[in-house]
Amino acid sequence: MRTFIVLIPLSGNRDARKQSELIENYNFKIGGAVQATALDVQKNVIELIDDNTYDLSEIEVEPITDFMDRVNNQEFNSDDYFMSYVNA
């Protein structure tokens, strides 16, 4: 099981907070994959929260280790997102 960070853009999405809370600590079972990828998780996240209200294609998903590197390298602006985490 791997932990992934999910970044839901605020731009044009008034429900980003509700969506991030909905998926928080969700455990996805990704079938057929030896190890889940960020793309696998992104597809499952979008499927879980999609209510046909917003374009969710801009949701970003990355393994927690990659996200930590991005933050530590000061390459991430948290003002633009609501964040959550999931496992797969």
Please report, for the chain, the start and end positions of each structural domain, with discontinuous segments joined by +.
Answer: 3-87
pLDDT score recorded for residue 33: 58
pLDDT (tens digit, 9 = 90+) per residue, 20-48? 999 999 999 987 757 889 999 999 999 99
The DSSP output letter for 8 is E
Query: Structure pTM?
Result: 0.92
pLDDT score recorded for residue 44: 96
CB distance 13 to 73 below 8 Å: no
Strand residues in 1-88 grouped as ranges (E): 3-9, 26-27, 60-63, 81-87
pLDDT score recorded for residue 88: 94
pLDDT (tens digit, 9 = 90+) per residue, 57-66? 999 999 999 9
